Amino acid sequence: MRAGGSARADASAERVRIVNWVLLVEDDLDHRLLIREVVSRMFSGVELHEAGDAASAIAWVRDRAKVKGGLAHGVVVLDLGLPGPSGFHFLEWVREHDVLDPLPVVVLTASENPMDAEHAFHLGAKGYFQKPADFRAYIAIFERALSLAAPGDGPPSSDGPAPGTG
């Protein structure tokens, strides 16, 4: 790690201290590996859980919800282009269950279709980000995504195409 990296990690950890866990719903192994690296380097103390499809994510959330306070202090980072039921299916499922209403879901997708972003926000997504091309861009996105998990934050957040992706 280069000089100053530790200070950046400490600042990132402070901004997202309310987040104890992240459920990453992503089928692409390369993206999962990169996100694991981002979380382990920059967000110490945040547990990363992974699901490769919507059905696995739903099962994980159901199990976590059985524990009192199990869904508190977490955020779901969701890809839309999953095998089988899409990320939209997961968003619809969350929306159908009132007990899950406070669960923040942030979309991280390769889609450049503005209708996908609009539909995701309509279904309750708190943020919508396009997958970036490099490690530093992932760090910036995760800083913003995890900050969206804080209760009472403002309106949903969205980014246009990430540099180098379109």
pLDDT of residue 5 exceeding 70, the answer is no
Q: Facing residues of 47 across strands?
A: 21
* Distances from the Cα of 68 to the Cα of 64, 71, 72, 85, angstroms: 9, 8, 9, 28
Mean pLDDT across the stretch 36-44? 85
What fold does the segment set 5-151 form as a domain? Rossmann fold (3.40.50)
Instruction: Find the helix or strand (DSSP H, E) in which 77 lies.
Output: strand 74-78
**57-86, pLDDT tens digit by residue?**
999 999 988 887 778 888 899 999 999 999
**125-166, pLDDT tens digit by residue?**
998 988 876 778 878 887 877 777 765 544 455 554 333 333
35 CB contacts (<8 Å, ≥6 apart)?
24, 26, 48, 77, 138, 142
Distance CA 149, CA 135 (A): 22
In percent, how much of the chain has pLDDT > 70? 79
Q: What is the mean pLDDT of the chain?
A: 80
CB count, 10 Å around CB of 155? 8
